[in-house]
Amino acid sequence: MSDITATTRGEKAKQLYAKGYNCAQAVALAFVDVTGVDEETVGTASAPFGGGMGRLGEVCGAVSGMLMTLSFLRRPNTLDPREKAALYAEERALAEEFRAAADSILCRDLLLMRAGRKEGRGLACPDLVALAVGILEEHENARSNK
Amino acid sequence: MTDGRTTDNAVDRAAKAEAYFTEGYNCAQSVALAFADLLGADEETLKAVAAPFGGGMGRLREVCGAVSGMFMVAGLALRADTLDRNEKNALYALEREMARLFAEQAGSIVCRELLLTRPHGDTHNSQKPKCRELVGIAARIAEAKIFADSDAGAAERATEEDGKNE
């Protein structure tokens, strides 16, 4: 998708997270070179999705950041039912990949797994951020190689 | 403080959001677009950034897109410096307060639970009256909690009114 490889983009996202950006921001900001959306807009639009949406424990912000980035890459005309359905189908595919690799897409479950209080891999937030980046990168690479 | 139901502005925003929904924009887009004049992002960007949150995220039926749209409006309007812990916590606290109000008025913030009473298939938005109503609720709460209650909101409105020379 660009000259940045999946690994280095995942590292970039992890660095953003370490710097203090939340999970959603770290994923979305790691792709600004390919989405063509300014950092200010990406950072402020994704900010509310950290901590499963303001620490509500809902959908993991790394997933939200990944889906937001997908939409920036596609820019579908969602008034066309087929384009909308295609975006949604891609989202579900990406979310399922995340679920398969992390055992949940919900922040509250992921945190419980991390704490050893629920069965699952228990990936740490920086690793979930890198996972989301990697899934989208691979998805894009597979698509461009079709 | 308001309960997110009462101001004239909130009624206007809700009507605007519901009109976008009727036009065919998804729940998240409809809420975000209703505040486009206050967000400093162009409409095409708003449509793209909110698009994936419709149908509880691509029909995953997770968090209602109207709720995600309302959160996104908060993020774009308040432009919190989230590297500052206090600013981040304030944004998150505002989100939880808006979510609480939404759940109080709608029964839940989760798409699959909200749709239990009015399930709909892949159909035109005119066949989703429940969703249109949820879009209105989210817009009213966003107007009340982001723009009416906060100093930042007051400043935004003052700027907007200056711009109109009113």
Residue B6 pLDDT grade (very low, low, confident, very high; cuts 50, 70, 90): low
Residue B159 neighbours by CB distance under 10 Å: 11
A143 neighbors A93 (Cβ within 8 angstroms): no
- State chain B's mean pLDDT as an integer: 88
Higher pLDDT among residues B128 and A89, named by residue: A89
Residue type, A140: E
Q: What is chain A's mean pLDDT, rounded? A: 95
Q: Given A47, A59, A79, which is nearest B62 (Cβ)?
A: A59
Residue A145: pLDDT band with limits 50, 70, 90: confident
Would you state the pLDDT for residue A41? 97
Q: What are the pLDDT digits (tens) for B115-132?
A: 987 776 667 887 889 999
Q: Is A45 on the interface with B (CB under 8 A)?
A: yes
pLDDT at A2 over 60: no
- Tokens 């677009």 map to which residue? B33
Three-state SS for chain A is CCCCCHHHHHHHHHHHHHHCCCHHHHHHHCCHHHHCCCHHHHHHHHHHHHHHHCCCCCECHHHHHHHHHHHHHHCCCCCCHHHHHHHHHHHHHHHHHHHHHHCCCEHHHHHHHHCCCCCCCCCCHHHHHHHHHHHHHHHHHHHHCC
Check residues B123 and A114 and name the one with the higher pLDDT: A114
Residue of chain A nearest B40, judged by CA positions:
A41
Pairwise CA distance, residues B51 & B142, whole Å:
18
The per-residue pLDDT for B149 is: 67
Q: Does any CB of chain B come closer than 8 Å to the CB of residue A81?
A: yes
ipTM above 0.90, yes or no: yes
Q: Are B72 and A45 in contact (CB under 8 A)?
A: yes
Q: What local confidence, expressed as pLDDT, does residue B162 receive?
A: 45
Neighbours of A117 (CB within 10 A): 10
- Dihedral of CA atoms A136, A137, A139, A142 in degrees, nearest 10, equals 180
Instruction: Provide mean pLDDT across the span A26-39.
Output: 97
Interatomic CA distance for residues B128 and B131, integer angstroms: 5
- pLDDT tens track for B78-123: 999 999 999 999 999 999 999 999 999 999 999 999 998 777 666 7
Residue B7 has pLDDT above 80, yes or no: no
Residue B59 has pLDDT above 50, yes or no: yes
Please tell me which of the candidates A40, A49, A92 has its beta carbon nearest to residue B59: A92
Task: Quickly tell me which residue has 């890459």 as its tokens.
Answer: A73
Q: Is B127 on the interface with A (CB under 8 A)?
A: no
Rounded CA gap, A52 and A125, in Å? 11
* Residue linked to tokens 């759940």: B103
Tokens coding B152: 């930042």
- Please name the member of A48, A79, A105 whose beta carbon is closest to the beta carbon of B91: A48
**Partner-chain contact B57 A64, CB within 8 Å:** yes
- Is residue B39 pLDDT above 90, yes or no? yes
Range of lowest pLDDT (A109-123, B105-119, B144-158): B144-158
More confident residue, B11 or B91: B91
B58 closest CA partner among A90, A70, A52: A90
| Per-residue model confidence (pLDDT) at position B121 | 67
pLDDT of B166 strictly over 70? no
Average pLDDT over residues A28-52: 97
Whose tokens are 């998708």? That residue is: A1
Q: What pLDDT was estimated at residue A146?
A: 74
pLDDT number for residue A6: 57
What pLDDT, on the 0 to 100 scale, is given for residue B116? 87
CA dist A23 and A1 (Å) reads 22
Min distance A110 CA to chain B CA atoms (Å): 15
